[in-house]
Structure 1
Amino acid sequence: MSDHGIPSDEQLVAYLDDQLDTEQRHRIDAAVAENSLLNLRLQWLARSSLPFKDAYDQVGRQAPTGRLQSMLDSLPSPERPAMDRRWFLAAAAGLVVSGVVADRLFIGWQQGRQQNNWRTLIADYMALHIPETLDNLPADEATQRAQLRTIDARLGLALVPAQLALPHVQFKRAQILEYDGMPIAQMTWLDPAHGPLALCVTRSDSGSRPFAHERRRGLNVVYWADLEHAWMLIGHNPAAELEDTARLLRTRLSA
């Protein structure tokens, strides 16, 4: 216990891992019963489910212990006791393992953040759109084909206006945006009932994903992925209606 009788996070983790003796467990039980904030903190710690042990076990087998042993053998101190040698190898291997695990966890976090961030950026951009934003844009097929060729050149999508024709809405524009060197295509329609509607796509190698829903900046979003691209359809349309439109577009664009 701390000086104020409140368990530290380390003690709570030991409590959750069943590493305390009976008296220590009873003290924490009593503290949790009396302190609602401490109870919430214990619940928060209990929710942690990252596979740290599996990650350490996997990369631990990759630690270059043979090379570390060779380095140690070359050091000019033959009188050093065996315990020191074992300690050195364990510590050095631990540093390698810690670095690899940290790198992998950070890379996974960063990739997830990037995958979500492009949808956040699009939502921020679409939140600025009103019907008047799309008024007076050229709607002839020649202009649309030229815009779609630009998307094809950047993202490898051979799109034609007929694939993007939707019932009850008017196709208004196709354009290329860019974030941190990542091209993002945006195809926009004007829905007379719900306002601007946009299909956005960027390159992705994270594998196919089924439809999923979310809300960003007060807009409904349906997003999915194929083997090469990540897609999102965003607008004020009801979520069920938006998914029906997404299914229609996915069928046409994958044909």
Structure 2
Amino acid sequence: MNAKLSDEQLVAYLDDQLDTEQRARIDAAIAEDPMIGLRLQWLDRSSLPFKDAFSQLSRQAPVDRLQAMLDTLPSPARPPLSRRWFLAAAAGLVAGGVLADRLFLGWQESQQTSNWRGLVADYMALYVPQTLEHLPSDETTQRAQLQTLDEHLGLKLAPGQLSLPRVEFKRAQILEYDDVPIAQITYLDPVHGPLALCITLSSSGSRHVARERRHGMNIVYWSDMHHAWMLIGHNPPAELEAMATTLRSRFSA
């Protein structure tokens, strides 16, 4: 069912244009499939100041032709033209158009090494403590989940290696973007809320711990010869760095 959700349906969800039953169906899809949440995050970026960023390109865009094409759609099937709806329609209708080409190229350039952290941050921005509170945290469940991560990323992880002070290990799962697996190990911190250790394959070589901030969350990240790692949460950066130091010492031992 989730794969059949169109961008137009998700845009209508974001714009509160769906009835109760339709919203409930998409809520269930989001809970079942993490990639639906990522698609929603991408579509919701239409609320950012694109006008300023692409002011030069907008003069080249075939807006009149787009609007004429949209006007040919049957009225009952056409939702109000919100910014998000227009973004989704433009992406589908302007194949080969200047605006779509430039937007795609800019988006494609952003999908480089560092952007996997942006994708994770997009997803983590949806988390609240209630997302994790109900999940089982017994060692048998943890080992089964970690086995899945091992199969995708060539890691040999055990629950003891992943324990951190104060926080509770809640879930390990595999996310995937453009056929690239991303391991997500989530914790619940009683003080700061959801926290995640995320890992993906990397050939960029070993790098020391660095910091950044996305969606109001702090991130520390590093890499070894085969994997890139990041910790993300609302914890203070110094606290995340201390956790990163602990984890690096265990995995390098």
State TM-score, norm by structure 2: 0.56
- Please point out which of 165, 169, 177 is paired with 2:175: 177
**Alpha-carbon deviation of 1:240?**
0.6
| Partner residue, 1:168 | 166
Amino acid aligned to 1:188 = T
Alignment of 1:20-99 (within 5 A): none
Q: Residue 142 of structure 1: SS of its match in structure 2?
A: helix
Residue 114 in 1 paired to residue 115 in 2?
A: no
- Tell whether 2:110 aligns with 1:130: no
Q: Partner amino acid for 1:229?
A: H
Alignment CA distance shift 1:152-1:214 (3 Å): same
Q: Which residue of 1 aligns with 2:187?
A: 189
Report deviation, 1:191: 0.3
1:227 aligns with 2:225: yes
Query: How many residue pairs align between the two structures?
Result: 147
* Aligned residue number for residue 29 of structure 2: none
Q: Deviations over 1:68-100 (max 9, x none)?
A: xxxxxxxxxxxxxxxxxxxxxxxxxxxxxxxxx
Aligned position for 1:239: 237
Task: Measure, in 1, the Cα distance between the counterparts of 2:122 and 2:109.
Answer: 20
For the residues of structure 1 that align with 2:250 and 2:127, how far apart are their CA atoms?
Answer: 26
**Structure 2 SS opposite 1:184:** strand
Identical residues among aligned pairs (%): 67
Is residue 206 of structure 2 the alignment partner of residue 208 of structure 1?
yes
Q: Which amino acid aligns with 2:247?
A: L
Letter of the 2:238 counterpart: A
TM-score of the pair, normalised by structure 1: 0.56
CA–CA distance in structure 2, aligned partners of residues 176 and 113 of structure 1: 19
Q: How large is the RMSD of aligned CA atoms in angstroms? A: 1.5
1:155 maps to which of 138, 153, 156: 153
Q: What's 1:36 paired with?
A: none
Amino acid at match of 2:132: L
Which one scores higher on RCO, CA 8 angstroms, separation ≥ 6? Answer: 2
Shift of 1:254: 2.0
- Give me the whole-angstrom Cα distance separating, in 1, the residues matched to 2:170 and 2:189: 10
Partner amino acid for 2:159?
Answer: P
Distance apart, 1:112 and its partner CA: 7.4
Q: For 1:9-34, what per-residue CA distance to the aligned partner results, in whole angstroms no more than 9, with x for missing partners?
A: xxxxxxxxxxxxxxxxxxxxxxxxxx
Structure 1 Cα separation of the partners of residues 184 and 251 of structure 2: 14
Segments ≥4 residues shifted beyond 2 Å: 110-113
TM-superposed CA distance for 1:138, in Å, is 1.1
What stretches of structure 2 of length at least 5 have no aligned partner?
A: 1-107
Using the TM superposition, give the Cα deviation of residue 121 of structure 1 relative to its aligned residue in structure 2, in angstroms.
0.4
1: CA distance, partners of 2:221 / 2:109:
17
**3-state SS in 2 of match to 1:115:** coil
Please state how far the C-alpha of 1:222 moved relative to its aligned partner: 0.3
* Amino acid corresponding to residue 236 of structure 1 in structure 2: H
In the superposition, relative to structure 1, how do residues 145 and 111 fare at CA in structure 2: closer, same or farther (>3 Å)?
farther
